[in-house]
A and B are shown apart, each in its own frame.
Chain A
Amino acid sequence: MMSAIEKQVIQAAKAALEVVGDLAKLKSTDPRAAAVLAVIRGLAEAVASGFARKIDPKNLRKTIESARGEIRGVIAANDAAIKDRIDQKFPVGEPPK
């Protein structure tokens, strides 16, 4: 049987999915928005399907530490991609385009 909080999370996720659906119509022409939307849908659906309840309470701390480590890794990857983008647009030793 679902607890009150679980029902609330699922209701919130359903409401969020409806908003996502509206945004998808508004932004369907932007490919980047479509990519981000796919991520949002995945996350919202994961929550709606009870993702939050599947985290083992015994491993909660480990799960949190793992999630914490991810942000540094993603930010480092972003920064590396931007460095490549700068190098590509403004090659060293060549005059600006």
Chain B
Amino acid sequence: MRSHMPAFLLYLGVFFACIGLAAAPAACTKNQRVNTIQTSLVAVNVARDGFTAWDLQHQSAIVDAASSRDEAEQKIAAYKAARDPVIAGFEIAYRALAMAATQTDDSSLAVALKASSDLFLAVKQLRGGT
């Protein structure tokens, strides 16, 4: 039975990211900027924890459903190929947030928030496509 909990984590992440986006006016103060980055970081961390929990559960389900070693290995390999861009998305989002944390310009913050949003969509697509 597939649990809906990791999906909920993603929605929670998107929810917090939206709050971050809403709280980032074009020229926000230093404190608002830090708060926005922190909120986005928490959202990405929540999404990461939800994704890794789902990843283990999903791979386990693939192995449980397989009738031979070859079938299990092939399906796991195919899943990992689909998973790679999502892991790269987490790296991009974290890197963008780290960059925004050391800058003061609006564009680095916008890039970080967009990377976070793109990541949530990528994870959602992976779950929807499996």
> Measuring CB to CB, which residues of chain A are less than 8 angstroms from any residue of chain B?
3-6, 8-9, 12, 16, 19-20, 23, 27, 30, 32-33, 36-37, 39-40, 43-44, 47, 51-53, 55, 57, 60-61, 63-65, 67-68, 70-72, 74-75, 78-79, 81-82, 85-86, 89-90, 92, 96
Contact = CB atoms under 8 A, between A and B. Distances in A.
Contact of A75 (B12, B64, B87): B87
A85 B72 CA distance: 10
A12 B15 contact: yes
B110 interface: no
Contacts of A74: 48, 52
B125 interface: no
B45 A40 contact: no
B1 interface: yes
